[in-house]
Amino acid sequence: MIKNYFRPKTIDELSELKLKTKGYLFSGGTDLFVKLRAGTIDTDTVIDTKYLNSRKIEITGNKLFIPINATYSELRMFIKQNNVNNMLENIVKTIGSPMIRNRGTPVGNISNASPAGDFVLASYLFNAQVIIEPTSRKLPVKNFIKGPGKIDLRENEFVYGIELEILNDYKFYFEKVGRRNAMIISIASLGLLLKEKDNKIKDIRIAFGSVAPYILRDENLEKSLIGETINEELFKHIAIEYQKLSSPITDVRATKEYRKSLVHNLVIKAYNNLFEKVVKE
C-alpha cells in the first residue's frame, strides 16, 4: 500500500528521494499501478515526477528530444505540428488506448525495458540516446537495456529523456500483430526503415519486438545489406536471417512457432507493402 508520496521539483531533489526511499517513479502510472495492483511491484513509496521542472519536447539540431513526463499524445501532437519523424505516428497510435496514450510516456516505456514495448522498438530504430540524470550520462538505448526489465541505472539515477535521430527520406513499415486490433500487447512486431538510391539500399534498420528477450536488431546484418539491389530475393534472405536470430517463447498470447513464422512473413510483408506489391485500400 502507498504510504509515502513525493513531488520533487528539481533533478537533485528527485535523485535524493529515489536514493533515500527506494521509491518508484510515477508519471502516468499506466504501468506502475497495474503492477502494484497485480502485486508484481510491492512498494510503499511513489515519487511523482510530474512536478519536475524539465525541458519540453523539442528539436535540437538533428535530434528529437523527448523528456520525462511527455505523454504519447503530446508526442503525437508535436510530430504532427512540426512535421518531424512522422513515421513514429504509426507506432505511437497503436499503443494502448486513447486514455493510456494521454497518460503513458515514452520514457516510462523505455525504463520498463519490455521486449514487447512498442516505443522501445521505436527507440532502437531511431538510434535513441538515453539521457540520465543527475550524472548526465548519455548512452545508446541498446546499451541502456540489458535484458527484460533490466536497465543500466544506478540507485540515484533516473531517465531524464531520450533523443531520437531525425530521419528524412526513409521508407517506413511498421506492423504489430496482436490478438485483436486495439489495446494489445504484441505477439510480434516489426519496424523497418529503409533509404534507397537507384533501387539499392543506402541505409536499412530493422527491429522486431516480442521475438527475443530484447528488441531484436542486428546492425552487422544491416550493414551487410548496404548497396544491395532491392528485390524479393534480398528480402527473403533478410527474412531467413532474422528468423535464425530470433528466439521467441511460448506464452499466453502465442506459441514460439507462430512467432518464428511471423518474423519471416513480416519482413516479406514489409517488402510487399513498401514496394507496392500490395494494392492499397
Report if residue 177 touches other proteins, rule: CB under 8 A: yes
Closest CA to 245 of 269, 228, 270, 220: 220
Q: Are 124 and 212 in contact (CB under 8 A)?
A: no
Q: What H or E segment, with its residue span, contains residue 219?
A: helix 219-225
CB of 142 vs other proteins, minimal distance in Å: 27
CB of 223 vs other proteins, minimal distance in Å: 27
Distances (CA, A) of 38 to 31, 35, 116, 172, 217: 11, 5, 19, 37, 31
Q: Which amino acid is at 164?
A: L
Task: For other proteins, give the closer residue by CB, 128 or 262.
Answer: 262
Altogether, the residues listed in the chain come to a count of 281
The binder of other proteins chosen from 51, 268, 274, 275 (CB under 8 A): 268
β-strands 129-133, 137-140 pairing: antiparallel
Report CA 73 to chain centroid distance, whole Å. Answer: 15
- C-alpha–C-alpha distance, residues 111 and 33, integer Å: 15
Among the listed ranges 68-76, 102-110, 134-142, 259-267, the one in contact with other proteins (CB under 8 A) is 259-267
CB of 90 vs other proteins, minimal distance in Å: 15
Report if residue 131 touches other proteins, rule: CB under 8 A: no
Report if residue 200 touches other proteins, rule: CB under 8 A: no
- C-alpha–C-alpha distance, residues 247 and 268, integer Å: 19
Task: For other proteins, give the closer residue by CB, 156 or 265.
Answer: 265
CB of 148 vs other proteins, minimal distance in Å: 17
Report if residue 250 touches other proteins, rule: CB under 8 A: no
Report if residue 240 touches other proteins, rule: CB under 8 A: no
Q: Directed axis angle between helix 232-245 and helix 256-274, to 10°?
A: 150
Task: For other proteins, give the closer residue by CB, 66 or 239.
Answer: 239
Query: How many residues belong to the site for other proteins (CB under 8 A)?
Result: 27
Q: Which amino acid is at 147?
A: G
Task: For other proteins, give the closer residue by CB, 91 or 162.
Answer: 91
Task: For other proteins, give the closer residue by CB, 7 or 253.
Answer: 253
Q: Are 2 and 45 in contact (CB under 8 A)?
A: yes
CB of 6 vs other proteins, minimal distance in Å: 23
- C-alpha–C-alpha distance, residues 63 and 82, integer Å: 13
The binder of other proteins chosen from 88, 92, 153, 187 (CB under 8 A): 187
The binder of other proteins chosen from 133, 157, 175, 241 (CB under 8 A): 175
Closest CA to 94 of 172, 183, 209: 183
Report if residue 100 touches other proteins, rule: CB under 8 A: no
Cβ-based neighbour number of residue 199 at 10 Å? 10
Cβ-based neighbour number of residue 258 at 10 Å? 14
Task: For other proteins, give the closer residue by CB, 160 or 174.
Answer: 174
Among the listed ranges 50-58, 130-138, 201-209, 268-276, the one in contact with other proteins (CB under 8 A) is 268-276
- Residues near other proteins (CB under 8 A) are 34, 175, 177, 179-185, 187, 252-255, 257-258, 261-262, 265-266, 268-269, 272, 277-279
